[in-house]
Structure 1
Amino acid sequence: MYSDNLAIKVDGLNKSFRMYNSPKDRVKELFLPQLRNKLGLDEVQYSNEFKALKDVSFEIKKGETVGVIGHNGCGKSTLLQIICGTLSPTTGEVKTFGRIAALLELGSGFNPEFTGTENVYMGCALLGLSKKETDERYDDIVKFADIGDFIHQPVKNYSSGMFVRLAFAVNIVSQPDIMIVDEALSVGDMNFQAKCMTALLKLQKAGATILFVSHDINAVKSLCERAIYLEHGIVKNIGSVVDVTEQYVRDMRLKMNAEERSFDEKAHNDVKVHNHEIGVSANITSSAIKEFTSRVADNRYGTGDVKVLYADIIDEKGYSSDSFTFNEQVKIRMYIGANADKDVSVNANIQDAKKIVITQCSNFQINQTLLSLNKGESYLVEYTLRLPFEEGVYTLQSFISDPVQKGVSGVVTDVIDDVVCFKVSRREEGRFWAKVFLFPKCEICKM
């Protein structure tokens, strides 16, 4: 007996595929095992088993929006195909409750010889809509797809973008109980992507269940309440979208590092820290470093070649604080120590409650050269900025990297999540409904 509140239940799901070195081996496996058995010969293996999913179990409630994340080849698409019923599991069970619309790949379910109009009617029929219901929705589908007269042309003549426009329009306008989207939105242009996100939010508010697969972690954070993290066909984590996506980002960054090294836990003596760019000097005690290191131990990762020894945020009065007024000017201070000779970018990210980066301070943003450090050297890196943010709670993430390609990629030497958790108070002139206030100006002229 399943709960009336369930939309999807996956229980002990396993999926295996046979992998062959050549097409001949596939044919051999059909006939030769029986023949060898009759002749009393030893069994010969003509294929290898690949387990795409391994004992996957979870439940999704009606009205939930859940993200599915993981690197390429982790089993995301296989899982979605089984949930949709286009692929059968090897073992295990999947139960769905409600009408499903799925956008798994470009043009899935479309006949390339049919026109766009014919495919609209066929697609709606596959989703369980009657001809009358499709007639009522047809104009909305055509308007949403926005492909002009191509709606009357065979879809084999469509571009990939036109394919996904029409496919998404059919699925979203059909108003399904369960909507499944697998990376297809990345094909459309920015206007269409924005339209799709708005449509998904409306579907979400209408109470539909959404299963959303994307490599865009910010999109997953914005849209979803929970997330499922797959790795090599296994559910590595399932829970709140913030916790799961942060674990995924952390894992991906560590995999990018050519060599991982454990942090050097050697005790530090009192350090005299200098900022060679702006002439600032300050003392930071070994006890402060020790307390900081202990506090952030569970939230940091990287090679440890260059590390943050201590970090805080200074208010306008010059005091370390965790509470600031709207648009207050602050200083982010990071004391840096080198365990190796390195040229690094020292960055600071301010994130909202969902760990979406609101703003970033980095060497590249201010056109500053990399910080060149010799082993044993220490510096104070200080960024000055204002906080024109919406009232709420924010966190500071320190991020030191050894750039491989300038402004694009690098080896993570030290990342610390939640270095500082701080509040920004409400704007005195009144609350605003956005993450950042940019002090716009308005002129009104009578025409």
Structure 2
Amino acid sequence: MLDDTMTENVIVEAAEAMSSELSGASVFRAEEKSTPSLALREWRRSPTMLSSQTAAQRLSGRMPPPLAINRHGRPALLPNALITTPHRTPAKTGIYPHVLLSVYYPQIFLILTSGSYLALSSVVALGANIICNKIPGLAPRQRAICQSRPDAIIVIGEGAQLGINECQYQFRYGRWNCSALGERTVFGQELRVGSREAAFTYAITAAGVAHSVTAACSQGNLSNCGCDREKQGYYNQEEGWKWGGCSADIKYGVEFSRRFVDAREIKKNARRLMNLHNNEAGRKVLEERMKLECKCHGVSGSCTTKTCWTTLPKFREIGYILKDKYNEAVHVEVVRASRLRQPTFLKVKKTQSYRKPMDTDLVYIERSPNYCEEDTSTGSVGTQGRLCNRTSPHTDGCDLMCCGRGYNTHQYTKVWQCNCKFQWCCFVKCNTCSERTEVFTCK
């Protein structure tokens, strides 16, 4: 996780690198780096204040009162804020497309680290090359996509974070709860062991990116894509409806996810085959769960004609399906080419035939560790201090969660207002209720 000073240094360093490229522009620093600025403290309380301001508002000067003022009297939106003021008259849009990365993308630094939201607010003047070079974990092909599509990299980051959040929800009651992924960059995360857990993280992240890109296209938030027009106007005579509305272009989302997510698999080894298979399995599950929505047209509510379109499923549904596939994950081994001895394809282990796993199966090549103790080599954070259920026989129970080490009991009293009634006139009278509660944590 990046602390305040480290993230500020990233911003300042990027600005210094870019200052030599910007002709006719001045870069100012709001204040010293020693302590978090007023802007930072205010943004942590109300982050939407900054992200709601448009690029045109910022550059034209029509914007809400600033959170901080730099030494030149200009608004400072970040600690060590970068305020770029072109010396020549700006274009009508107020943006130089080849010089500025538009602040219509206020979440550009979400992709720096998922554990620190310091720099989520808008950055007025950072070029795409500078931004992409500062994102940790990108493979060369991913960095090239970032530089050519800075608008898409924001959506990709949101999709990857969507997958991580779903992973943490699905495994919230297990010894391994996906928490380590939340502390890393949302790109390039990898469990070192090729286990079931690694299979799930790759599948859910690839599906999350495809889901996020498809949704952004349907909402008009990405260039070069939109609604799926392939079947627009086609009439289904058997069921009596025609294609219409804005169908989600899942093919574009899946292909974009394939181009970006799969690009990080550079090494030609068994783990690469495993990761690519699980990436595709996650996208395949999403594609198969697309939903058909319809709207009736006719007099007095009749359904004389019906228009239908495809929509994305709730991502929670994808999470449940992939969790089931995690429970039934297939142990595979690599078949190597006879000459080059390089990994060629995967086959189900412990079978005499060369039977390949199904397209939507999650596959793994190594058995999972027990995740009882902290071990950086396996990505295990251990279970010490985890909450557990004393009476549960399942994975959230203290016996299983604590790996036989025992548990601590904590007692506290919960107090709240209850039985509230309106009294004439005019106040509400409540009683005070309390409840003594016990919680249990692993030793």
TM-score above 0.5, yes or no: no
Q: TM-score range with shorter-chain normalisation?
A: under 0.3
* Higher strand fraction (1 or 2): 1
Q: TM-score normalized by structure 2?
A: 0.26
Between structure 1 and structure 2, the one with the greater Rg is: 1
* Higher helix fraction (1 or 2): 2
